[in-house]
Amino acid sequence: MINFGINLNLVIICWTVFFLYWLVSAFFVKQSATKADWRFAIIWRAIVAVLVIIFFRFNRAIAISFFSFLFFRSFLSYVIAGTVLTVLGLIIALWARIFLGRNWSNYDTYKKEHELITAGPYRFLRHPIYSGAILMLIGTFLYYGVLIILIILAIATLFVVWRIWHEEKTMIKLFGKKYTDYMKRTKRLIPWIY
């Protein structure tokens, strides 16, 4: 077996698929009807940059695997749980992104001829892409057991809550009662809970 010094695993593959899909699909969205908030762009790029650095800088040999000893009986169950959650998060995020189609925006803007998507995962959650990404981060933390990923998970979750607040204000302004009715029958991130 040829070793190129790269530790390929399913968690890294999931994140690679996630970022590549978002990068490529960004070229096929509708034109924005509003300008993006530059603060969001800077924060989002910083989070992405830190995540990429962590994935390629840390490996299992130097990981602080304290979490596995607290909650799992074996290192293998820790790796399996992390992998399963990361894959599940990727599936949810991709499913949501596909249903959102050309209406997707990387920033807090809306598109020309913007449509309110309520099918697929949007029947249950208003922000399933964020749900999938957070699940991927939880899985990544379980897989690697690196404390810094837990810190990034906390920061990313706070950032997502802030982003949701801004997005929902934009959607209420754009769709009015149609969106507030949609809010009443769905949850933000976690089905039946929040």
Classify residue 133 as exposed, middle or buried by CB count within 10 Å of its CB (0-12, 13-18, 19+). Answer: buried
| Domain ranges within the chain, ordered by starting residue | 34-185
Neighbours of 112 (CB within 10 A): 9
100 or 85: whose pLDDT is higher? 85
Distance (Å, rounded) from C-alpha 93 to C-alpha 100? Answer: 10
Provide the pLDDT for residue 41.
Answer: 66
pTM confidence score? 0.76
Domain 34-185 has what CATH class?
Answer: mainly alpha
What's the token pair of residue 31? 């034109």
**Could you report the per-residue pLDDT of 22-80, keeping only the tens digit for each?**
888 777 765 665 665 667 667 767 776 776 666 566 554 444 444 544 555 556 777 88
- Nearest alpha carbon to residue 127 among 97, 154, 156, 101: 97
SS3 80: helix
**Could you report the per-residue pLDDT of 74-98, keeping only the tens digit for each?**
567 778 888 999 999 999 999 999 8
SS3 122: helix
Contact 83, 10 (CB under 8 A): yes
Q: What value does the mean pLDDT of the chain take? A: 77
Q: Which residues contact 55 (CB under 8 A, 6 or more apart)?
A: 12, 15, 140
User: At 53, phi and psi to the nearest 5?
Assistant: -60, -45
- Nearest alpha carbon to residue 167 among 82, 106, 98: 106
